[in-house]
Structure 1
Amino acid sequence: MNAARASFADQTLPNWRRAVLKVGSSLLAAEGEGLSPRHALNLAQFVAASQAEGREVVIVSSGAVAAGRGLLHRQATAGAAMAERQALAALGQAQLIGLWQRFFSHPVAQVLLTHDDLRNRRRYLNARATLMELLQLGAIPVVNENDTVSVDELKLGDNDNLAAIVAALVDADALFIATDIDGFYSANPRTDADAQPIDEVEALTPAFFAMAGGAGSGVGTGGMRTKLEAAAKAGAAGIETFLFNGTRADTLARLARGTLNGTRFRAAQNRLAARKYWLSHVPLEPGRILVDAGAARAMGEKGASLLPGGVLGAEGDFRRGDMVEVVAKGEGGERRVARGVSQYSAADIRRIAGRHSRDIEAVLGYNYGENVIHRDDLVLL
């Protein structure tokens, strides 16, 4: 890289509570075969320092296929059959989780997701609930695409975009993308000596995508373009993206202290506004949840979740994960008060209506949490 080229300016990170850290194969793959802890250690130290500050981090990590190749002492080949890549991923997943676990005193949890898990609303909610519970337990979720069962036409395709989806899934405040160059440039810095660093991107226009090149290494599946796609997806959900060089220990040490040396992609709006907009515009399913005046007041005045104790009943035949209307019933008649994503089906709600949250499992034989609608999945009308 040209030594005279301008460097990225230091920027103060906004305060964040929960983040997704995406780590690509190029940072984990050994030069010969298998995985190397060389860069993973510094990345893990950033995660540990963040946890010590009371923050939560979900890692989206590539590297399973490279780890599988290392076990079999097999070199990467272009155009490898889908079944071969799936088999290598299956062999390498345990190695990948083992690599991360060696750096943490907290337990590491493996979470494998597919396109169908994120397209199907009920499975999406189950994945969200699992990740939230893992964070509540103090564990470090390590997410990867479930390559062993994915098919070409339904693959998420790259972990940059998966990381953006996971960031929205867990209501993250920030998406950190660790790569093997210092940030986003006006051209490919490996081939263009005139490439200039871009410290901040207010809005991702087609001109920025035109600057992005292809994949930077033979190990990963994503290049700079997929990182811009991820930043655009995250930005639409109100999440800012921070791109930096994960091979540099000094960059990661500064990141842990709240300073970015790389590129900041701003979100179009704040995270809460983006989620509330989505909740306000998702089509409603036929059916309603009927609540008493106390529940309506708690949601409206205190921002509370909807608990079964305040529910009078349910109308229709909606399913868990559907967007439904919440209607208050009282002496003055009915009043629309909210809409939200129901954690339970209409049939389940009719059975637990008026009961205490602790009774849900005794009544149904299972439970999806104490809330009928969580406050994060609810918008007032």
Structure 2
Amino acid sequence: MNYLKTGDREAILKKKRVVVKVGTSSITYENGKVNFRYLDHLTRQLADLKNRGLDVVLVTSGAIGVGLPMLGFHKKPDFLPYKQAAAAVGQGALMNTYEHLFHEYGQAVGQLLFTKGDAVNSKRYLYMRGTIQALLELGAIPIVNENDAVSADEIKIGDNDTLSAIVASVAEADLLIILSDIQGLYTKDPKSHPDAELIHEVPAFSRELFAIAGGAGTARGTGGMYTKIQAAEICVHSGIDMIIAKSDEKEVLLRIMDGEEIGTLFRGENVHPQLKKRDIIIGTAVKGKIFVDEGCRKALLEKGSSLLPVGIIDVEGAFSDGDTVAVYFEDQELARGISHYSSEDVQKIMGHRTEGLSEALGMAAPYDTVIHRDNLLVMR
């Protein structure tokens, strides 16, 4: 496949929700100290995109990298508890820096610490998605990092490249921009092949792209081009465009969002919104059944509605909030989704309208819906 052709990036101008990932090598100097000049450049661009009306999510590496020199390390140790200690120290320092800089530009931020496991556990996925959506709705910029201080298997090559793609999928982003220390994907390794050419666009993802990707990145970072291709594969199959670009390029984010041809663009597949939910919902065990009336059946199938308590007539099985349940009309399975409520609470609120939920529960109702349409996969 000819990847060297250029393409029209006018569609970038229509993007509304953007996830930006930045790596350790971009936000620190060679000696491991924080690069405040770069972080100011980054946060100013993100704040400006927010002021344009875009939803912005930042996925940042760097907790371990920032923490190492603070604890007297000159290189990354092999001993896992030392890495976790560095993450614990560095995370606070890094977040404090982001918070200060974003506040200078009038932006509120919220910190979220995740692991890749949060996206494959239905309950944690539900809360992860809900927190990101709430922060964006309330005008804040979510700042996401891997929870390296308490995780073990996630501290490995490319964790935050993969994490950024997962966050983009969970946040239902239109675009993921991975900022790196290289211009984009090349036909060969440009460090050892002077004739290597930059690939401007990948119109259709192919596994052959892995053949031209290398190993790990810098000594301070963990991600190489190979892991960025892995992230691209996740994004493309989720219907999300992805761009790899050089982090220190002047005004790189603003220029990308202006439609300028910078870096390598991976075109997302034309994925039906329902199919984006299939893996997380179908891939988990069904813990119970919810039976609905005829009016609810029509609302789910014909109007794309959420599952409201008023349309529920029966519950079968024992399940907790965050579990996957099947929705039935008589003996026909209509849909599957992630429940906001346990089976016990669904029994209390079924048949009730929204204004009566709190009284039925005996406490303030946390949700108006039993299954929100964003977490509901229609089966029929």
* TM-score (normalizing by structure 2): 0.88
Amino acid at match of 1:54: G
Q: Name 1:369's counterpart in structure 2.
A: 367
| DSSP-derived class of the 1:314 partner | strand
Partner of 1:93: 91
- Indicate which of 331, 337, 340 corresponds to 2:337: 340
Query: What residue identity is the alignment partner of 1:200?
Result: E
Deviations along 1:278-336, one digit per CA (max 9) or x if unpaired, are 4785466253212223322332333221111222221222333333332336xxxx654
Following TM superposition, by how much is the alpha carbon of 1:111 offset from its aligned partner in structure 2, in angstroms?
0.7
> Closer, same or farther in 2 for the Cα pair 1:86/1:137, shift >3 Å?
same
Matching of residues 196-275 of structure 1 within 5 Å:
196-270=197-271, 272=273, 274-275=275-276
SS in 2 for 1:49: helix
Contact kept in structure 2, 1:283 and 1:323, CA below 8 Å: yes
Paired position in structure 2 for 1:17: 16
Q: Are residue 351 (structure 1) and residue 348 (structure 2) matched?
A: yes
- Distance (whole Å) between structure 2 residues aligned to residue 281 and residue 265 of structure 1: 27
> 1: distance between equivalents of 2:275 and 2:59?
23
The aligned counterpart of 2:59 is 60
Q: Give the counterpart letter for 2:132 in structure 1.
A: L
1:37-94 alpha-carbon deviations (Å, 9 max, x no partner): 22222322332222123221111101111221242343124x4311111111111111
Task: Give structure 2 stretches of 5+ with no counterpart.
Answer: none
Q: Tell me if the contact between 1:12 and 1:260 (Cα under 8 Å) persists in the aligned partners.
A: no
Name the counterpart of 1:3: none
Q: Please provide the CA RMSD for this pair.
A: 2.7
- The 3 A distance-change label for structure 1 pair 314 and 38 is same
- Give the CA deviation at 1:196: 0.7
1:137 maps to which residue? Answer: 138
- Would the aligned equivalents of 1:202 and 1:266 in 2 still touch at CA under 8 Å? yes
Q: Amino acid of the residue matched to residue 220 of structure 1?
A: G
Letter in 1 for 2:266: F
Distance 1:153 1:64 in 2: 13
CA 1:152–1:338: 2 relative to 1, 3 Å: closer
1:213 deviates by 1.4
Provide Cα deviations, 1:232-278, integer angstroms capped at 9, x if missing partner.
01222221211111111143331232334111112233361531554
Amino acid at match of 1:33: G
Q: Distance in 2 between matches of 1:68 and 1:284?
A: 40
Question: 2:43 aligned with 1:44, yes or no?
Answer: yes
Secondary structure class of the residue paired with 1:20: strand
Kindly state the Cα deviation for residue 361 of structure 1 after the two structures are TM-superposed.
Answer: 4.8
SS of residue paired to 2:57: strand
Q: Do the aligned partners of residues 69 and 57 (structure 1) sit closer, same or farther apart at CA in structure 2, a change above 3 Å counting?
A: same
Deviation at 1:350, TM superposition (A): 0.8
Q: Secondary structure at the match of 1:103?
A: helix
Indicate the larger mover: 203-212 or 159-168: 203-212
Secondary structure at the aligned position of 1:102 is classed as helix
Match of 2:80 among 82, 85, 94: 82
Correspondent of 2:100 among 85, 102, 107: 102
Counterpart CA distance in 2 for 1:47 and 1:153 is: 27
Q: 1: distance between equivalents of 2:352 and 2:324?
A: 22
Partner residue, 1:308: 309
Query: Which letter maps to 1:59?
Result: L
- The corresponding residue for 1:118 is 119
Cα 1:19/1:66, change in 2 over 3 Å? same
The answer to whether the Cα contact below 8 Å between 1:8 and 1:261 also exists between their aligned partners in 2 is no
1:261 is paired with a residue whose SS is: coil
Equivalent residue for 1:195?
Answer: 196
1:317 and 1:299 mapped to 2: Cα distance?
Answer: 23
DSSP 3-state at the match of 2:164: helix
Distance 1:62-1:169 versus aligned 2 partners, 3 A rule: same
CA–CA distance in 2 between the matches of 1:183 and 1:366?
A: 50
Give the letter aligned to residue 69 of structure 1. Answer: L
Q: Provide the rounded CA distance (Å) in 2 between the counterparts of 1:165 and 1:116.
A: 10
Matches of 2:165 and 2:47, distance apart in 1? 21
- In the alignment, residue 241 of structure 1 is paired with which amino acid? M
Native 8 Å contact 2:158 2:224 kept in 1: no
- Conserved? CA contact 2:317–2:343, under 8 Å: yes
1:152 is paired with a residue whose SS is coil
| Contact in 2 for aligned 1:188/1:213 (Cα 8 Å) | yes
**Within 5 Å, which residues of 2 pair with 1:285-304?**
285=286, 287-304=288-305
Distance across 1 between alignment mates of 2:332 and 2:132: 35
Cα deviation, residue 146, structure 1: 0.8
Partner residue of 1:379?
A: 377
Give the stretch that moved more between structures: 39-48 or 23-32: 39-48
Matched-pair contact (CA < 8 Å) for 2:148–2:155: no
- Unaligned runs of at least 5 residues, structure 1: 1-5
1:42 and 1:252 in contact (8 A); partners too = no
Could you say if the C-alpha distance between residues 84 and 136 of structure 1 is closer, same or farther in structure 2, counting changes exceeding 3 Å? same
